[in-house]
Amino acid sequence: DLCIYLFRHDLRIADLPGLAAAAQVGRILPVFILDDDTLGENTPGGASRWWLHHSLAALSADITATGGRLVLQRGDTARCLQRLVAQTGAAAVYCSRGYAPHEVALEKALHAALTEAGVDFKRFPGTLLFEPEAIANQAGQPFKVFSPFWRHCLRGDHPAQPLVQPQQWPWVPDIGRSDDLDSWNLLPRNPDWAAEWHELWTPGTAGARERLAHFLDDGVSRYADGRDRPAEYATSRLSAHLHFGEISPREVWHRARQRVAQKPALESQVDKFLSEIGWREFSNHLLFHFPTIPREPFKAQFAGFPWLGGKSLLQAWQRGQTGYPVVDAGMRELWQTGYMHNRMRMVTASFLTKHLLIHWREGERWFWDTLVDADLAANACSWQWAAGSGADAAPYFRIFNPVTQGQKFDTEGEYVRRWVPELARLPDRYLHRPWEAPAPVLAEAGVVLGDHYPAPVVDHREAREAALAAYQQIRSG
Ligand code: FAD
């Protein structure tokens, strides 16, 4: 029998339960369908499309190297699959399950259409360590706070070992028409803003494994502190690889645990790292149980929050021209590399929602378009967290001060100097607050505020007061 394997957010052939099950059916036809219409506003943004192109090229090469050929089709997923079933006589269609509402809806529709046509449609785990149905509190409800969630996950059975890679996959040798990947135009042109990204990123399983190995050799020993210092390369940078499913989270889990077995002193650092993988689990579970998270505030009282419009302020934020060096450094890192350090994501998101009082969905959309790791669950949950409306958000009055955040986490100013070079010659003392530098200091550093670099678009103290007043409005109803 022939089984179509539909690749989704699982662009790998290693440790993929659905693919292993497909191999039990008989021969496998590997397929990826680009279905922008069904995705609607969840269509990948520009940076993700760049990654997707290269990730598909890598997957395709991995399949070719093992004797098969990845079939690429563009259009409505159900219709493409029905056509392929008719052409090949496939008896089954298998895939990994998704957790976002549009993915769940697609699986339901595929189940109905394919079952009616006599085709066996099955979905398998493969994206998470723990399935949402398996994790609930004592009342049988989903957790809404991270710490008890993760404690509960760790208490139960730990993730199974990754599947052993078969010697040979029973791919269908060559069948069906496939689009040419280049014809999908996923890559930017005129201008090609990603021209240098190959130096930064290697999409695909081999790149993911290399990244993980490098992290476990080096960054992990500094992780617990280093993860807060944006100038350091102390985090794994696995987020896009995990988002696209190029490496399974349980492979990450077991490799990290193996490292501890080799070097027990790393245990607390590795545990911290795995708890961040836990945040990935948590946000996916939240999205599964509360599918409105990308659109509506998790805390209902925020529905009436008095957001301001502020197109020019939004633009200043997007372009890294707010006059707060650390915020601008983060936004420029994002624009230039498709990535921003987690601490800076927290600071820039807080700045947009609390200092500028601009709706978190504007920020979420910008990140969606510019991050290579843009992920509906992580992005929406994190934005809501930053805005104060999230499931596990910190108390609203904890408003990040962009100056002290810079002084604390970029003390020597390496990060700001890297991304805001026009301030590079300012002494550390004034780097995070150039507007307070005496005129001779500015002159010496070659900085003219309002010319080379903007004066702050808002005053921190006034902005903080305004945010607290806005919050007071929804509190008092
Ligand atoms: P590491 O520190 O090495 O962490 C390991 C892995 O854990 C990451 O690769 C990621 O898969 C996961 N992870 C870490 N932190 C989180 C988190 N808070 N929530 C969910 N998963 C997490 N992450 C995304 O993957 N996609 C997004 O679209 C995204 N948007 C964000 C938006 C905002 C406003 C904020 C504050 C955070 C966002 N994050 C997002 C979470 C986090 O910033 C990134 O996952 C992390 O910076 C990626 O770098 P890393 O792989 O080196 O992380």
Q: What is the pLDDT of residue 237?
A: 97
Catalytic residue among 50, 51, 171, 279: 279
The answer, yes or no, to whether residue 403 has pLDDT greater than 90, is: yes
Give the model confidence (pLDDT) of 153-184 as tens digits: 999 889 999 999 888 899 997 776 899 999 99
Averaged pLDDT of the chain:
96
DSSP character string of 65-121: HTT---EEEES-HHHHHHHHHHHHT-SEEEEE---SHHHHHHHHHHHHHHHHTT-EE
Give the phi and the psi of residue 455 in degrees, each rounded to 5: -70, 155
d(C-alpha 321, C-alpha 168), whole Å: 54
What would be the CATH architecture of the domain defined by 300-475?
Orthogonal Bundle (1.10)
Q: Is 82 exposed, middle or buried (0-12, 13-18, 19+ CB in 10 A)?
A: middle
The answer, yes or no, to whether residue 434 has pLDDT greater than 70, is: yes
Q: What is the pLDDT of residue 176?
A: 67
Give the model confidence (pLDDT) of 117-158 as tens digits: 999 999 999 999 999 999 999 999 999 999 999 999 999 889
Give the phi and the psi of residue 133 in degrees, each rounded to 5: -70, -20
128-161+206-289 has which CATH code? Answer: 1.25.40.80
Residue 29's H or E segment, with its range, is strand 27-34
Q: Whose CA is nearest to atom 22 of ligand 1?
A: 280
In angstroms, how far is CA 197 from the centroid of its own chain?
17
* C-alpha dihedral, 81 to 84 to 85 to 88, nearest 10°: -160
Is 273 known as a binding-site position? yes
The answer, yes or no, to whether residue 244 has pLDDT greater than 90, is: yes
User: What percent of the chain lies above the pLDDT cut of 70?
Assistant: 100
* C-alpha dihedral, 388 to 391 to 395 to 397, nearest 10°: 0
- Radius of gyration over every alpha carbon of the chain, rounded to an integer in angstroms: 24
Give the model confidence (pLDDT) of 197-219 as tens digits: 999 999 999 999 999 999 999 99
Answer yes or no: are the C-beta atoms of 82 and 118 closer than 8 Å: no
Question: Would you say domain 2-126 falls under CATH 3.40.50.720?
Answer: no
* SS3 (DSSP) at 293: coil
Strand partners of residue 124 = 96
What residues does ligand 1 touch, defined as CB less than 6 Å away? 227, 235-239, 242-243, 276-277, 279-280, 283, 342, 345-346, 349, 367, 371, 373-375, 378-379, 382-383, 386
d(C-alpha 412, C-alpha 416), whole Å: 9
Specify whether 307 is catalytic: yes
d(C-alpha 243, C-alpha 369), whole Å: 15
Domain boundaries, the chain: 2-126, 128-161+206-289, 300-475
Name the H helices within 156-266.
205-217, 223-226, 239-243, 249-262
d(C-alpha 301, C-alpha 474), whole Å: 6
Give the model confidence (pLDDT) of 316-342 as tens digits: 999 999 999 999 999 999 999 999 999
d(C-alpha 353, C-alpha 144), whole Å: 22
Distance 375 CA to ligand 1 centre (A): 9
Indicate if 300-475 has the same CATH topology as 128-161+206-289. no
Is 115 known as a binding-site position? no
Catalytic residue among 201, 383, 385, 419: 383
Distance 268 CA to ligand 1 centre (A): 19
Answer yes or no: are the C-beta atoms of 388 and 471 closer than 8 Å: yes
d(C-alpha 50, C-alpha 203), whole Å: 10
Specify whether 169 is catalytic: no
Q: What is the pLDDT of residue 477?
A: 66
Distance 364 CA to ligand 1 centre (A): 13
